Amino acid sequence: MNKEGINLFVERNLTNFSVNSTGWDDLIRKLLFEFAIAGWNLEHRVFGKEKFGELRCYTYSEDETLNNRLKNIKDKYSKLSVETCEICGSEGKMRTIGSWQTTLCLNHFLEQQPVIEVDDQQNVKLNNKTVLNIKNVVKVDVEYDLQKLWLYTGQNDWEGKKYFSWQEPNYYLLLKTIPISIFPKDRQGEISMLFQSLN
C-alpha cells in the first residue's frame, strides 16, 4: 500500500459522503486514511452521510477484526463531527435549526437561525423583518415549561398567530417584553416571578 494509492482512495471516496457542506472534509479524509491503514480494501467504496448533526459512515467486511477496527475509527470521527462546524470546519456544537439537528459554529448558527429583535416601538422582527407589533397582541398562549409561545393579533385563534421557541436567540427577551396582563391568568404569577428573580 503506497501513499499515492491511499490518497487516490481518499479523494475518490470523499464524494461518497452526503454532507451539508465542506466543513467536515478534513475529518472525512482522516477517517478514510485511517480506514486504509487499518486494512480496508482500497478497491471497495466507502459511503457516509450527515444524520442528526453527526457524521455517519457505513461499511462492512467479512473480517471481524477489521470490522472492530473500523467501528472504533467510525466512532472516533462521529464524536469529532459533533464538535466541528459542518460549514467551515471550525469548533462547533450540536444545534437545532427549525426541527433539524446540525453541528455549527456560533457564526454559522446565527446566520441560519432567525434572531428575535424587539425595537423601541415594540415591533418584533425576525431577520430584520417585522412580523408583529406587541401593542397589537390580544392573546398569548405559552407552553407549560415556557419554552414555546404563541402570540395572536386577531380575535380568532387562527388569525395573526405567530409562534416562537426558546431555541430562537432573544426568546426570553420577547417573553419579558410582552405585558403580563395578556398572558393567561393562571400563568401570570409564574412568568412575573421568572423575570423578578433575574433582576
How confident is residue 112, by pLDDT bands cut at 50, 70 and 90?
confident
Strands 47-51 and 54-58: antiparallel
- Terminal Cα distance for the chain, rounded: 65
pLDDT tens for 152-179 read 997 666 667 899 988 888 999 999 999 9
Residue with cell 494509492: 5
CATH architecture of the domain formed by 114-185: Roll (2.30)
Q: What is the value of pTM for the model shown?
A: 0.69
In the chain, where the domains are located: 3-94+100-106, 114-185
Residue written as grid cell 407552553: 143
Structure-block grid coordinates of residue 199: 433582576
Helix (DSSP H) and strand (DSSP E) numbers for the chain: 6, 11
pLDDT number for residue 197: 66
pLDDT tens profile 96-111: 887 789 999 999 998 8
What is the rounded CA–CA span in Å between residue 73 and residue 96? 26
